[in-house]
Structure 1
Amino acid sequence: MSDSNKTDFTNPSTFILLGIPGLEVAHVWIAIPFCTIYTIAILGNFIILLIVKTEPSLHVPMYYFLCMLAVTDLVLSTSTVPKILSIYWFNSREIDFSACLTQMYFIHSFLVIESGIFVAMAFDRYVAICDPLRHSTILTNSMVAKISLAVVLRGFMLILPYPFLVRQWPYCRTNIIPHTYCEHIAVVNLACTDTRVSSYYGLFVVFCVRGLDMIFIAVSYTQILKTIFSLPTKDARLKALGTCSSHLCVILTFYIPVIFSSLTHRFGHNVPLHFHILIANVYLLVPPMLNPIIYGVKTKQIRDRLLRLFTNKGT
């Protein structure tokens, strides 16, 4: 009997997403801020794309990378939030096995892509501030296209082993995922075999990919800040800092919760499960909402174009 049950459960047709275990009573209310955040993220990122598309003066590398960031945020939000809201509001907890693996692939690959975009943006700021006379010759449209392609391919290729490894594991314990979406480690933990390959590869992606990205960004900004503080006038220093402040803000909103969630999920065994899940939701939901707001508030070109857009509509 145990063998037949194991065979029947080796390849489950569906998984069950619990949402936030322990907070089921509050699901309906938790869904309200989630829906609000998602709506703001969708509107904000579409507005960024519209402004950059319609404003010729913004057709430069910094804003091309910003458009890539907006598209990435739209994919991250849309691949998770609709299903999360269906769990909270309609108790629609089932997700097809293949759909779960697809969601997992999109989430993790676009998180790696977003990290790569921040590296590309840091490189753009480094050249613009540390070697401004060569900025237009180094970051040509062709170079921007190559960097963008490399960032996207890196994300797709590095995460490709995730669904392939997960598909081959036997699932003879349960098909219930104590999470709001198909997070890689949450699915791997359901397998009833040695899954160290998946766990080690996940750690490799966290430390060697995002870790290296963070090191590159830190080195770039160390050089940028040294250049800024060596400028002769206060106005020049403030102007240079202003061009970097929005980028630094979105970097912090992305990396801090991602690293914290990854570490607590693997090593924080005494941390309550619902706290794990909430943090995992924060790093997928909050940055896509904050990124367009930060760039809209701190970037003068976008702010001015947005004001003209609404002023023209009002007249």
Structure 2
Amino acid sequence: MKATTETQKKSVKLHNEKDQGKKDFLDSFIKVAFVPMLIISILAMLSPIYILIKVSISKPVDVLTQHPTFLIHNFTGEHWIKVLQSGLLFPALSKSFIVATATAIVAIILATPASYVISRLPKKTKYIIVLALFFTRMFPNVGIALPISVKFIRWNLIDTHAGLILAHLIEQLPFITWILVGTFEVIPQDLEKSAMIDGASRIRALWSVILPNAAPGLAVAAMYVWLNSWNEFTYALYLSLSTNTLPLQIYYYVNRGGFFQTATYATILMIPVLIVTYALQRYIRSDYLGGAIKG
């Protein structure tokens, strides 16, 4: 009996040593492979951007060949000059920027109070409302864009900034409301209760206490809406006649087969995205609520 017990102990010890050896090997592999995998991932993400920029500043001899090189050998600004002198860039750039910015601002103004109220509702009611919001996104944009364009013709909103902003809000409001509901849920209600005990009204508590703590979520929501509106194509195709947005302008050159102008417009389309993301990323901090409550 004693020999059997000792054998079992040795078996368990041997099994534990094997498990520990596997764990040590896995940890060592992760430590060794982490940097190369990170570098490969970064290169995989940056390569399309580099190729886009390369095409926009390379001569045709470097691109329109059977075996194009990865590096830039014959630099040229001809494609950028053509785009800048075409007279089509700045109207499209202006329209895209105005529509995206206005859509983000209006969406934040409308969704913030609604999301705050929804976040303070009972759990079952909150769940039903969020599901109802997502139900509106079950229908494809193409199926919605056509009846909207017919209605906007009657309202004289075709080819206007206001019409495109309203169309973008249809798509963006459910998602931004969902994002902000989650943001307000993680903010302790004790904060607003403490402010109200100190004499602040509910509106004052929302403005002075809740919204500052919700800044990361608001930044994420604003960034999400702005980027989606900036890149939106379907509604712009139905609702734009005389002045295109930048995605429509890219589509125009793709149809014409203009590789270099397409790459140039796509590079220009990417630049504001980088600027907006960099400007708002400072608000996205996981420890923003770390010092909100003490004790």
TM-score calculated relative to the size of structure 2: 0.30
Who wins on radius of gyration, i.e. which is larger? 2
Higher RCO, 1 vs 2 (CA within 8 Å, ≥6 residues apart): 1
**TM-score, length-scaled by structure 1:** 0.29
